[in-house]
Structure 1
Amino acid sequence: MRSVSHAFAILRLLADGEARTLSEIARACSLSPSSCLALLRTLVAERVLIAAASKRYALAPAWREGAARWADPQARMIALAQPQLDRLARTLDAPVGLWCVVPRERLQLIALGESGAATRIHMQVGQRQPIGGGATGRALAAAQGVDPARLETRFTAVRWERPLEFALYLQQVSDAAQAGYAVDDRYGHAGVRSIAVAVPRTDPALCLSVSFFADAARHTDAAVGAALQELAAQLARG
């Protein structure tokens, strides 16, 4: 049952011993605030969680022993990343996503920082895309040193919005390896320019991205790439 799965996601998140607010738990577990609150109240009533006066939730003492053994590393990463994604999204006035490599050569959006812009690029936590697509695909390929044959397989699996030759894609991956960040200019999504950086030393592999309306970008690629590199380094350090 989905509600049981969500309850275990909350327990794995809190297994690191840190108390968190409703909004922090909801974001990390990809739950709506109302659904998350209902689950938290149930877990408190069952004495699995305790609710502090500061409106933070934590594992009850009886549940803390050995909890670290089944803590969810991805949930901890999302909890660490979310406030930083939110801050960077506000600074750049653009959505900032954290992507994770999942089975079948796909990337899944696991966390999202959204800007306060009136007109926004629509992104949703949980959405998936081919591993070779967008700036994320180029950034990961550059960081992983993917060989050309495998890279061509990733390339051909993507439905590009406008014509893109593999030779140019290969050059863009090489450019990403040199610069430390990758760029997709309206090839992955019509009218969208995205910049991405791989998060070092993560398993499964993670990648950060920023997406702008191509004709309205107010920041240079280098400035955005540097901001993403700094955030990626922070996440790698934990």
Structure 2
Amino acid sequence: MTGPVRSVSQAFAILRLLAETGALTLSDICRHLGLSPSSCLNLLKTLVAEEAVERDARTKYYRLTSAWLVADALRGSRATRVVDRAEPLLARFAQATEAAMGLWKIVSRDRMQLVVRAESDAGMRLSLADDQRQPLGSGAAGRAIAAVQGVGDAELARRYAPVRWQADLPLGLYARQVHEAAARGFAVDQGYTHRGVWTVAVGIADIAPGHCLSASVVAGSRSEAEIEALGTALIALRDELIVQAE
């Protein structure tokens, strides 16, 4: 009896990857699946021709077509349910805390993407840009993800290296903040990533491909005790979201 056809298995691996991550570049897909650029490109061209995958000519990102996205949603993966359940929970939390809320998803070895955002209706408020991407090590989100993943020193340094910090943050202090996040359950960025913005974040490691919740406020608008309370509330929100995604 013959074994599975390798190219077909690789095509399905691409479909599963895009179902979990949302959208990736050719190089991202190659890194995730260990494919050569030429083989991966040929597979993607076939999937595009079969209308399972589409390519954004402007951004060069590949994603599932709407028909395949519907099929994935009907399948009801935990990652899909996390996004679906997050929207009302984040909206409620944003209204209660007047924080700009985000749900981030790891989309490659190097980057995370904002997949859900919410903000309050306060007259003066922060707002996150739709679908933004940032380096995997960036911000409170990067520290929180590294903390729940138990990332080692070498990988931590790799994630730290490409980040453009707006305030000086040595690697040693960054690593210490990741360890502190692991101990207390949430990470804090006080103006290192964006001047004038403080962000609290908690990681979600047990729902592939990895997620993070963040809450951002104007720098100096909260006391240390209030930041601590925000982190504790964010942990409770994370736990509620995981339960609803079961």
| TM-score, length-scaled by structure 2 | 0.68
- Aligned residue identity for 1:196: A
Does residue 216 of structure 1 match 2:194?
no
Which residue of structure 2 lines up, in the alignment, with residue 230 of structure 1? 236
The 8 Å contact of residues 98 and 125 in structure 2, kept in 1 or not, is answered as no
Q: Look up the SS of the partner of 1:161 in the other structure.
A: coil
2:202 aligned residue (188, 197, 202): 197
Which residue of structure 2 lines up, in the alignment, with residue 87 of structure 1? 92
Q: Look up the SS of the partner of 1:220 in the other structure.
A: helix
Deviation, structure 1 residue 10: 4.7
Does residue 119 of structure 1 match 2:124?
yes
Deviation, structure 1 residue 142: 1.0
Q: For this pair of structures, how many residues does the alignment match? A: 182
Q: Distance in 1 between matches of 2:108 and 2:69?
A: 20
Q: Distance in 2 between matches of 1:98 and 1:130?
A: 15
Q: Look up the SS of the partner of 1:203 in the other structure.
A: coil
Unaligned runs of 5+ in 2: 1-53, 57-63
The 8 Å contact of residues 12 and 72 in structure 1, kept in 2 or not, is answered as yes
Q: Distance in 2 between matches of 1:140 and 1:7?
A: 31
- Aligned residue identity for 2:176: Q
RMSD: 2.0
Residues 99-131 of structure 1, C-alpha deviations (whole Å, 9 max, x = no match): 000114111001012111222323123110001
2:180 aligned residue (160, 164, 175): 175
Residues 50-103 of structure 1, C-alpha deviations (whole Å, 9 max, x = no match): xxxxxxxxxxxxxxxxxx3xx454332211111100000001011111000011
Q: Distance in 1 between matches of 2:160 and 2:126?
A: 24
The 8 Å contact of residues 105 and 113 in structure 2, kept in 1 or not, is answered as yes
Q: Look up the SS of the partner of 2:221 in the other structure.
A: coil
2:167 aligned residue (137, 162, 167): 162
Unaligned runs of 5+ in 1: 16-67
Q: Distance in 1 between matches of 2:100 and 2:111?
A: 20
The 8 Å contact of residues 200 and 233 in structure 1, kept in 2 or not, is answered as no
Q: Distance in 1 between matches of 2:129 and 2:158?
A: 26
Which residue of structure 2 lines up, in the alignment, with residue 74 of structure 1? 79
Aligned residues with identical type, % of pairs: 38
- Aligned residue identity for 1:189: H
Which residue of structure 1 lines up, in the alignment, with residue 156 of structure 2? 151
Which residue of structure 1 lines up, in the alignment, with residue 22 of structure 2? none
Deviation, structure 1 residue 11: 5.4
The 8 Å contact of residues 149 and 205 in structure 2, kept in 1 or not, is answered as no
After the TM superposition, list the runs of 4 or more consecutive aligned residues in structure 1 that deviate by more than 4 angstroms: none
Q: Distance in 2 between matches of 1:75 and 1:145?
A: 24
| TM-score, length-scaled by structure 1 | 0.71
